[in-house]
Amino acid sequence: QDFTQSCYFSRTEIDVKNININLKKTSFQIHNQLRAFIFREYQLPRLRGVRVAKSILSEEFIGANVFEESENEFILSGIDGFKIIAQKVDILAGG
Q: Which pLDDT tens digit goes with each residue over 27-80?
A: 999 999 999 889 888 889 999 999 999 999 999 999 999 999 999 999 999 999
Q: Which of 59, 51, 5, 49 is nearest to 27 (CA)?
A: 59
Q: Which pLDDT tens digit goes with each residue over 4-17?
A: 666 666 666 666 67
- A 10 A CB-CB count for 28 gives 15
Domains of the chain: residue spans and CATH: 3-92 (3.10.25)
Say which amino acid occupies 7. Answer: C
Considering the entire predicted model, what is its pTM?
0.79
